[in-house]
C-alpha cells in the first residue's frame, strides 16, 4: 500500500515537473487580480460600498400573517367577482330556457373571429342583433366584471342538445379559438361509467402526412381523457396488426395466441407508454386490411369478457376508410353481426374518418358510416335485433380544432343517462397554445328539462395569482405557493415556464417542499383554514397559510438560512436624468443594432414593480403615462400621487440612479470600455437600469435571469456566464455579474476579451499543442479555442467541457472531491435533469488521476473569488477521443435506467415518468420523487427584450475603427470587430485583417450570422458575396424549373372514367403509395396495370368482334359516345370501388379479363402513355373505324 502511494506521488511530481513552466496557481491569482480590478473599477463595487455607508437602510420586519391575508383577500375578491358574474349570467340564460324553447339558445364562444370562408356566423339567429342572444349575453358577462376585465381570455356557453345533434363542433366558424380547453372542461363535467376502449388505428399507406398527424392527435386525445379506473387497448393495423404490451414496451406482431392482448387499466404509466408508442408509429406502404382490424379488435374484447360483465365496450376505428376490395364492407359487417350474435356483450363501434380538408371525398366515409351504423340491409346480411347490438357514431375529423369535440362525442356512450356534475367549479390551469400563457377556467353547470347546460369564463392565471407569481421576498429568503384543496400545488417558484403542453399544471406538495415532516404540513394545510407551521428538526423553515374559501390555500414560506432583504430609507435624490420607455426627448445614436442614447441611462421597471403586475406586463404605456411615472419617481418632496407603483420602488430607483451615474461616467472614460457592450444594475424588486440607454419590451423579469440567480448563489464572488449570441448585434458575449447586499451589478463583454486576458498570462495558449480553457461551476465552457471555429456545426451556447475535452472529462470524474454528478426534477417540463457540480472551494491543482495517460497532461484550478476554473491541456502525441455520449439532436440521456458517477456523459435529461420499474429490477429512478426540484429561472436573456431598430442614418454611439487594427491581438475583443481569417469557401486568407462584425463573423469574411443582424457600422468592403450568391441562386432556380418541366412532361397521369354521375375526384388527390399496383389483391379492380399497351376503343377495325362475355358482367357500364344520356363523365380513382351501385348480390360475380399481353396488330391505334386516359367501356359489334 505504501509503495502504491509512493508511485502515485512520484507520478504527480513528474507531471508537475513536465509542466513546470506553467504555474497555474500564479495564473489563477493573476486572473483573480484582473477580475478584482474589473469588479471594483468597472462594476463599481467599491463605489457601491461607499454609497451604502452614506445611506440609511432598514431591516423591515416580515409580518407573514398580514402578507398571506392580503394576497388571499385579493384572490378572493377576483374569484367572487367571477362567480358573481357567472351566477347572474346563469339566471338570465336559465330564465330564457324556462319560458322559451330549450333550443332557443345555441352554443357560442367569445371572442369569435369569423373565418374568411364564413360570410355570416353559423347561427344567424343568434347574432348581436337580438338583445337576448347568446353572444350578447356572453358579451355583457365580461362587461359586468369589476376586477378582472382585462384578464378574461374567453367566455362560452354549451348546450347539451346541440352537442348531441351536431356532427361537428359548434365553434367551427371561429378562428384563434382553442377549443381543447373548452371541451376538456365539458368532459370533466360528465359522470362516466367505466370506459372500456379498444382503439384501432389505421396506419396504412393511403394517408397523407397531414392525415397521419391528425390520426395521432385523435389517439392521444382519446388517451388523455381516460382515468385510472378505465381500461384501454391500442392496436395499429395495416397489412398486419401490432400492439404495445405492458412488459418492457415490447412490440408484438400477429402472435395473439401466445401473448394475449386484453384491455388493461389506464394507469398513468401505461397511458404515457401508449402515447410514446403512438408518437413512434410510422405510416406503412401497403393498403390496410380492414377485416383484420376488426378481427383483432374482437379478439381483444373476447379475451376481456371475463371481467367486463355488464359494462359497455367501445371499439373506435380511426381510419381514412380507403378500401382495397369491393367485398371488404360486407366481410367486416358479416364479422360484426356474427360476433354480436355470438357474444352477449354491450358493444358500440364508433368510427372516425380522417379527412384532408383540402381534398373533397365522397365514398370513403360511407364505408366507415356503414360500419358504425351497422347497415346490414344495404349488403343483404341477415341479422336479428339484439339489445346488446347498439348503433355507433361516425364523425369526420379534418382539422385539429375538430378533435376535442369528436372525442367528447365518442365518449358520450359511457354517459347514457346524461349525468353531469352540477354547480360551480375552478379547473386546474392549462396552457393556451395561442396566448402562450396559463389559463384557468371558471364554469357553472346546471340542468333544465333534463338537458345539461354549461357556461364558462377563462381567465389568465397570471392575473388571478399575480401577487403570488410576482412576489419578491429576497433571493431564497421567502416565497409563496398556491395549492388547491386536493393537495395539488397549482403554482410554486420551482415551476419553470410551461411551454407547449396542454396538460393541467399540478404537482404534489411533497415533491417540492423537502422538509422532514412534509406529510404533517400537508395534513394541516388541508384541514386547517389558517395556521403557522415550523419544522421539527430545524428552525429554518416557517410556513404561514390561509384558505381562500373552498378553492385555494395561500402559503408563505420563510427560510431563515438566507438574509432578509434590507431597504434604503428615503435616499436623497441624485439629480441624474434617465429615460423611461421613451427615446424621443434625447439625442439618439446607433449602438450596434440598437437605437440608443449616451446622454442618460435607461430605466426599466419589471412587472413586479407595479401594484398590478399583469396590467403592467400586458398594457402598453403612452407618453403621458411614462411622464407620470418619471415625475413621481423624481419627486423628492413625496407629495405626488403614486401612479401605480409599489411603495419601495421609488427608493430603489434612487439607489440605482446613483450607481448607474457612476457606471455611465466609467463607460465614457475607461480604456476597457472598448471591450464592454453595456453595463447595468438590478434590484431585488426588479428595478433595472442600463447604459447605453435603450428601451426594452415589457414583460421581461430580470430577477429571473440566470446571471441574477447565479450572482446571489455565489454572493461575494464575481460570476461569469458562458458565452451567448447578443441580440443587440455585438456577436458572442460573456456576462460578468456581482451581487451586493441590495442589488446586482453586471456588464457584458466581448468573447474575445476573455482570450485576450488569458493570453496575457498564458501566451502558450496560442500553441497548437496547448489548449487553455475556462469553465464555470457546472462545467460549461466560457472559453475554449474550438468554441468559435468557423465551420462549427453547433451554436456555442451551452457547450460543456465534455463536448470539448472528453479525455480530460473522463479523468476528472475520478476526483470525487472536485466534481459531482447530480439529479434534480424539473416538474415544469416533466424531466429529470443530470448535471455536474464543481467544487468552487477547491484550492489545489487538479492533475491526471490515471497514471497511464502520458500523452495528455492537464492542470485545472479554481480562480479565487469567482465561479470559474482555468485549465491547461498539453497534448504530446496523437490519441483517440474517449466515448462520452452527447446527443446532437436533443438532450436525452443515452441510458435513463442507470447513472454512474464515473461515467462520462454530457449534461442531459430523462423523462420524469420513465417507468423503468416495469423492466429494471433496480431502476435508478424508482425514487425519483426524492430528488430535489430544479431551481428555476427563465431562459430569457436581456437581449430577448431588446427592441432592434437599427437606423443606418444615425451616427454610431462609439466610433469603431476596426480597419486601423493591424494584428490579431489588437483586433481581438474589440467591440464590433472581428479578425477575418477565412474566405467564403472556408479557406485561409493570404492576408488576414480586422473588419467589422457585419463583414466578418466567426472569422469568416462576408459571412454574417442570421442572429447577429446588422452590426454597428456599414461593411467596409465591396459586397462581392451577395452578387455571387444572387448568381448562384438564379442558376439553381433555372435548374429547378427545368427539372420540374421534364418531370411533368414525362409523368404518366392515369385517370379512370366511370359512367356514374358522382362528384369528380382526381387520382392525385388520393396520395396512394407508388407501389399500390404491386401490392396484390387487385382482382376486384376495374382495370389492371398488367396491360402495358392500352388500345383506344374509338379506333377499331371494322372486322373486330368482342369476345363472348356474359351479359351480367357489363356491371352497368355502357359505351360512352356523344349520343349517350350521360352529359358528363366523373373522374373517380380505381380505389373508389365502394359505390353503392356497384355492390352486387352474392349471385353476381365479377369478371376481369386476364389475357396475356401480346404484340399489337398494325390495324390498332396505340395511345401514347403521356397524359393517357383509360376508360372501362363496352365496345359494340357494329362499331366502325373512324
pLDDT digits (tens, 9 = 90+) for 610-626: 999 998 888 776 777 78
Pairing outcome for strands 1004-1005 and 530-534: unpaired
**Segment of 276-280, 501-505, 862-866 carrying the highest mean pLDDT:** 862-866
DSSP state of 972: T
pLDDT tens-digit readout, 21-69: 678 999 999 999 999 999 999 999 999 999 888 887 777 778 889 999 9
Cβ burial of 487 (10 Å; 0-12, 13-18, 19+) is: middle
- pLDDT for res 934: 86
- pLDDT for res 65: 93
Please provide the size of the chain in residues. 1186
> Could you tell me if 97 and 238 lie in one domain?
no
Q: From 141, 160, 159, 158, select the one nearest 149 (Cα to Cα).
A: 141
For 894-935, give the DSSP string. S-TT---TT----SEEEETT--GGGT-SS-TTTTGGGSPBPP
- pLDDT for res 255: 40
Inside any domain, residue 13: no
- Three cell numbers written together for 591: 449602438
What count of other Cβ atoms lies within 10 Å of the Cβ of residue 990?
6
Inside any domain, residue 1071: yes
- pLDDT for res 128: 45
- pLDDT for res 131: 56
Q: Residue 982 belongs to what domain range?
A: 959-1021
Inside any domain, residue 411: no
- pLDDT for res 493: 86
Q: Which neighbouring-strand residues pair with 439?
A: 430, 460
Give me the residue label for grid cell 405557493.
481
Inside any domain, residue 1035: no
> Could you tell me if 511 and 592 lie in one domain?
no
**CATH number of the CATH domain containing 244:** 3.40.50.410
pLDDT tens-digit readout, 660-713: 999 999 999 999 999 999 999 999 899 999 999 998 888 888 998 999 999 999
> Could you tell me if 917 and 951 lie in one domain?
no
196-200-201-205 Cα dihedral, nearest 10 degrees: 180
Residue 423 has pLDDT above 90, yes or no: yes
What count of other Cβ atoms lies within 10 Å of the Cβ of residue 436?
11
**Average confidence (pLDDT) over 873-896:** 79
CA 209 from centre of chain: 20
Q: What is the mean pLDDT of the chain?
A: 79
> Could you tell me if 239 and 371 lie in one domain?
yes
Q: Which neighbouring-strand residues pair with 774?
A: 783, 870
pTM of the model: 0.78
- pLDDT for res 359: 67
pLDDT tens-digit readout, 176-201: 677 888 999 999 999 999 999 999 99
Q: In degrees rounded to 5, what are phi and psi of residue 603?
A: -110, 135
Share of the chain above pLDDT 70, in %: 75
Q: How far is CA 1108 from CA 156, 845, 1103, 1175, in A?
A: 68, 99, 15, 20
pLDDT tens-digit readout, 304-332: 988 888 899 999 999 998 888 888 899 99
> Could you tell me if 453 and 481 lie in one domain?
no
- 3-state DSSP call for residue 1122? coil
Q: Band the pLDDT of 149: cuts 50, 70, 90.
A: confident
Inside any domain, residue 457: yes
pLDDT tens-digit readout, 714-730: 999 999 999 999 988 89
Inside any domain, residue 1046: no
> Could you tell me if 581 and 534 lie in one domain?
no
What 1073-1081 contacts at long range (C-beta under 8 Å, 24+ apart), as own/partner pairs, is: 1073/205, 1073/206, 1073/285, 1073/286, 1075/285, 1076/205, 1076/287, 1079/286, 1079/287, 1079/324, 1081/287, 1081/324, 1081/325
Integer Cα distance of 44 and 195 in angstroms:
67
- Three cell numbers written together for 668: 465614457
- pLDDT for res 530: 93
- 3-state DSSP call for residue 963? helix
**CATH number of the CATH domain containing 541:** 3.30.450
Tell which of 566, 600, 623 closes a domain. 566
Residue 654 has pLDDT above 50, yes or no: yes
- pLDDT for res 1012: 54
The count of structural domains within the chain is 7
For 1017-1067, strand residue ranges (E) read 1055-1058
- Three cell numbers written together for 915: 417507468
Least confident of 5-14, 159-168, 261-270, 653-662: 5-14
Inside any domain, residue 4: no
Q: From 283, 263, 266, 286, select the one nearest 274 (Cα to Cα).
A: 266
> Could you tell me if 243 and 391 lie in one domain?
yes
> Could you tell me if 813 and 799 lie in one domain?
yes
> Could you tell me if 739 and 797 lie in one domain?
no
Residue 361 has pLDDT above 60, yes or no: yes
> Could you tell me if 256 and 286 lie in one domain?
yes
Residue 750 has pLDDT above 80, yes or no: yes
> Could you tell me if 885 and 838 lie in one domain?
yes
Q: In degrees rounded to 5, what are phi and psi of residue 44?
A: 75, 25
pLDDT tens-digit readout, 907-934: 998 988 755 444 444 445 556 778 888 8
pLDDT tens-digit readout, 775-810: 999 999 999 988 877 555 556 677 899 888 888 888
pLDDT tens-digit readout, 429-455: 988 877 778 899 999 999 988 899 999
> Could you tell me if 997 and 1065 lie in one domain?
no
**Average confidence (pLDDT) over 569-579:** 70
Inside any domain, residue 1038: no
pLDDT tens-digit readout, 265-304: 998 888 888 998 999 999 888 889 999 999 999 999 999 9
Amino acid at each position: 500500500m505504501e509503495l502504491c502511494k509512493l508511485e502515485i506521488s512520484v507520478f504527480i511530481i513528474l507531471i508537475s515537473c513536465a509542466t513546470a513552466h506553467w504555474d497555474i496557481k500564479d495564473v489563477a491569482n493573476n486572473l483573480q487580480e484582473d477580475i478584482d480590478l474589473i469588479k471594483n473599477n468597472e462594476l463599481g463595487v467599491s463605489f457601491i460600498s461607499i454609497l451604502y455607508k452614506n445611506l440609511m437602510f432598514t431591516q423591515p420586519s416580515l409580518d407573514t400573517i398580514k402578507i398571506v391575508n392580503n394576497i388571499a383577500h385579493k384572490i378572493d375578491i377576483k374569484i367572487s367577482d367571477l362567480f358573481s358574474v357567472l351566477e347572474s349570467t346563469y339566471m338570465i340564460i336559465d330564465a330564457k330556457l324556462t319560458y322559451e324553447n330549450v333550443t332557443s339558445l345555441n352554443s357560442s364562444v367569445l371572442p369569435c373571429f369569423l373565418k374568411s370562408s364564413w360570410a355570416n356566423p353559423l347561427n344567424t339567429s343568434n347574432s348581436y342583433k337580438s338583445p337576448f342572444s347568446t353572444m350578447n349575453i356572453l358579451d355583457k358577462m365580461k362587461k359586468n366584471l369589476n376586477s378582472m376585465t382585462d384578464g378574461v381570455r374567453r367566455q362560452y356557453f354549451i348546450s347539451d342538445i346541440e352537442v348531441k345533434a351536431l356532427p361537428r363542433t359548434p365553434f367551427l366558424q371561429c378562428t384563434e379559438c382553442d377549443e381543447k380547453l373548452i371541451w376538456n372542461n365539458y368532459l370533466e363535467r360528465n359522470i362516466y361509467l367505466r370506459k372500456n376502449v379498444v382503439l384501432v388505428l389505421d396506419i396504412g399507406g393511403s394517408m397523407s402526412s397531414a392525415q397521419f398527424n391528425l390520426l395521432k392527435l385523435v389517439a392521444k386525445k382519446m388517451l388523455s381523457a381516460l382515468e385510472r379506473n378505465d381500461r384501454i387497448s391500442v392496436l395499429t393495423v395495416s397489412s398486419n396488426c401490432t400492439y404495445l404490451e405492458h412488459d418492457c414496451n415490447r412490440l408484438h406482431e400477429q402472435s395473439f395466441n401466445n401473448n394475449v392482448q386484453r384491455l388493461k387499466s389506464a394507469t398513468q404509466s401505461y397511458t404515457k407508454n401508449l402515447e410514446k408508442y403512438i408518437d413512434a408509429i410510422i405510416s406503412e406502404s401497403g393498403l390496410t386490411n380492414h377485416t383484420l382490424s376488426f378481427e383483432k379488435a374482437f379478439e381483444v374484447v373476447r379475451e376481456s369478457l371475463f371481467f367486463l360483465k355488464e359494462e359497455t365496450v367501445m371499439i373506435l376505428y380511426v381510419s381514412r376508410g380507403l378500401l382495397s376490395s369491393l367485398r371488404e364492407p360486407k366481410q367486416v359487417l358479416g364479422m360484426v353481426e356474427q360476433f354480436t350474435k355470438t357474444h352477449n356483450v354491450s358493444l358500440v363501434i364508433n368510427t372516425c374518418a380522417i379527412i384532408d380538408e383540402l381534398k373533397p371525398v365522397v365514398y370513403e366515409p360511407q364505408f366507415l358510416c356503414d360500419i358504425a351504423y351497422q347497415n346490414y340491409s344495404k349488403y343483404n346480411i341477415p341479422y336479428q335485433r339484439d339489445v346488446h347490438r347498439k348503433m355507433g357514431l361516425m364523425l369526420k375529423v379534418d382539422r385539429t380544432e375538430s378533435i376535442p369535440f369528436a372525442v367528447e362525442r365518442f365518449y358520450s356512450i359511457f354517459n347514457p343517462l346524461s349525468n353531469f356534475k352540477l354547480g360551480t367549479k375552478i379547473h386546474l390551469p392549462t396552457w393556451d397554445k395561442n396566448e402562450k400563457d396559463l389559463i384557468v377556467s371558471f364554469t357553472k353547470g346546471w340542468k333544465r328539462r333534463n338537458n345539461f347546460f354549461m357556461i364558462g369564463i377563462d381567465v389568465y392565471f397570471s392575473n388571478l395569482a399575480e401577487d403570488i407569481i410576482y412576489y419578491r421576498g429576497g433571493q431564497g429568503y421567502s416565497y409563496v405557493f398556491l395549492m388547491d384543496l386536493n393537495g395539488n400545488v397549482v403554482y410554486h417558484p420551482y415551476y419553470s415556464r410551461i411551454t407547449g403542453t396542454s396538460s393541467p399544471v399540478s404537482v404534489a406538495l411533497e415533491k417540492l417542499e423537502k422538509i422532514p415532516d412534509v406529510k404533517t404540513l400537508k395534513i394541516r394545510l388541508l384541514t386547517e383554514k389558517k395556521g403557522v407551521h415550523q419544522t421539527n428538526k430545524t428552525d429554518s423553515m416557517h410556513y404561514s397559510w390561509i384558505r381562500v374559501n373552498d378553492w385555494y390555500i395561500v402559503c408563505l414560506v420563510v427560510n431563515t438560512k438566507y438574509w432578509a432583504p434590507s431597504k434604503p430609507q428615503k435616499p436623497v435624490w441624485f439629480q441624474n436624468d434617465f429615460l423611461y420607455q421613451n427615446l424621443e426627448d434625447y439625442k439618439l445614436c446607433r449602438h450596434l443594432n440598437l437605437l440608443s442614447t449616451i446622454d442618460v441611462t435607461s430605466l426599466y421597471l419589471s412587472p413586479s414593480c407595479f401594484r398590478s403586475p399583469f396590467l403592467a406586463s400586458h398594457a402598453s404605456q403612452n407618453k403621458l403615462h411614462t411622464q407620470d411615472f418619471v415625475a413621481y419617481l423624481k419627486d423628492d418632496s413625496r407629495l405626488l400621487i403614486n401612479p401605480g407603483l409599489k411603495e419601495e420602488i421609488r427608493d430603489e430607483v434612487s439607489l440605482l440612479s446613483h450607481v448607474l451615474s457612476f457606471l455611465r461616467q466609467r463607460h465614457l472614460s475607461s480604456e476597457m470600455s472598448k471591450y464592454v457592450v453595456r453595463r447595468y444594475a438590478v434590484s431585488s424588486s426588479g428595478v433595472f437600469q442600463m447604459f447605453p440607454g435603450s428601451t426594452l419590451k415589457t414583460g421581461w423579469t430580470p430577477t429571473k435571469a440566470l446571471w441574477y440567480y447565479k450572482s446571489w448563489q455565489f454572493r461575494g464572488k464575481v460570476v461569469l456566464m458562458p458565452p451567448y449570441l447578443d441580440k443587440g448585434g455585438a456577436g458572442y458575449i460573456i456576462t460578468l455579474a456581482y451581487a451586493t447586499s441590495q442589488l446586482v451589478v453586471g456588464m457584458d463583454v466581448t468573447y474575445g476579451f476573455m482570450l485576450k486576458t488569458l493570453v496575457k498570462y498564458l501566451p502558450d495558449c496560442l500553441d497548437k499543442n496547448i489548449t487553455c480553457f475556462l469553465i464555470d461551476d457546472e462545467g460549461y465552457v466560457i472559453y475554449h479555442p474550438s468554441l468559435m471555429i468557423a465551420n462549427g456545426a453547433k451554436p456555442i451556447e451551452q457547450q460543456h467541457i465534455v463536448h470539448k475535452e472528453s479525455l480530460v472529462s473522463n479523468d476528472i470524474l475520478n476526483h470525487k472531491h472536485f466534481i459531482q454528478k447530480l439529479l434534480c426534477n424539473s416538474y415544469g417540463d416533466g424531466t429529470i435533469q443530470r448535471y455536474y457540480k464543481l467544487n468552487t472551494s477547491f484550492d489545489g491543482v487538479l492533475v491526471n488521476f490515471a497514471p497511464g495517460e502520458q500523452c495528455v497532461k492537464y492542470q485545472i484550478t479554481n480562480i479565487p473569488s469567482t465561479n470559474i476554473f482555468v485549465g491547461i491541456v498539453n497534448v504530446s502525441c496523437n490519441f483517440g477521443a474517449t466515448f462520452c455520449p452527447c446527443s446532437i439532436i436533443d438532450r436525452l440521456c443515452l441510458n435513463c435506467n442507470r447513472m454512474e458517477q464515473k461515467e462520462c456523459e454530457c449534461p442531459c435529461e430523462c423523462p420524469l415518468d420513465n417507468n423503468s420499474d416495469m423492466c429494471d429490477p433496480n431502476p435508478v429512478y424508482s425514487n425519483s420523487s426524492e430528488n430535489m426540484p430544479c431551481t428555476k429561472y427563465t431562459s430569457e436573456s436581456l437581449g430577448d427584450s431588446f427592441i432592434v431598430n437599427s437606423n443606418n442614418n444615425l451616427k454610431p454611439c462609439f466610433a469603431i475603427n476596426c480597419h486601423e487594427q493591424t494584428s490579431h491581438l489588437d483586433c481581438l475583443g474589440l467591440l464590433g470587430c472581428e479578425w477575418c481569417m477565412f474566405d467564403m469557401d472556408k479557406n485561409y486568407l493570404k492576408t488576414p485583417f480586422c473588419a467589422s462584425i457585419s463583414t466578418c463573423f466567426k472569422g469568416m469574411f462576408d459571412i454574417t450570422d442570421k442572429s447577429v443582424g446588422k452590426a454597428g457600422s456599414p461593411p467596409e468592403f465591396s459586397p462581392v458575396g451577395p452578387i455571387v450568391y444572387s448568381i448562384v441562386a438564379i442558376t439553381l432556380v433555372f435548374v429547378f424549373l427545368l427539372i420540374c418541366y421534364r418531370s411533368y412532361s414525362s409523368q404518366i397521369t392515369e385517370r379512370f372514367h366511370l359512367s356514374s354521375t358522382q362528384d369528380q375526384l382526381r387520382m392525385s388527390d388520393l396520395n396512394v403509395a407508388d407501389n399500390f399496383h404491386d401490392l396484390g389483391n387487385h382482382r376486384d379492380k376495374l382495370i389492371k396495370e398488367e396491360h402495358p399497351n392500352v388500345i383506344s376503343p374509338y379506333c377499331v377495325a371494322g372486322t373486330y368482334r368482342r369476345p363472348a362475355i356474359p351479359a351480367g358482367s357489363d356491371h352497368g357500364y355502357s359505351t360512352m359516345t356523344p349520343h349517350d344520356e350521360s352529359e358528363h363523365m366523373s373522374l373517380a380513382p380505381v380505389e373508389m370501388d365502394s359505390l353503392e351501385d356497384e355492390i352486387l348480390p352474392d349471385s353476381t360475380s365479377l369478371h376481369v379479363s386476364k389475357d396475356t399481353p401480346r404484340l399489337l396488330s398494325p390495324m390498332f391505334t396505340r395511345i401514347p402513355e403521356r397524359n393517357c386516359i383509360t376508360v372501362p367501356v363496352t365496345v359494340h359489334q357494329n362499331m366502325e373505324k373512324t
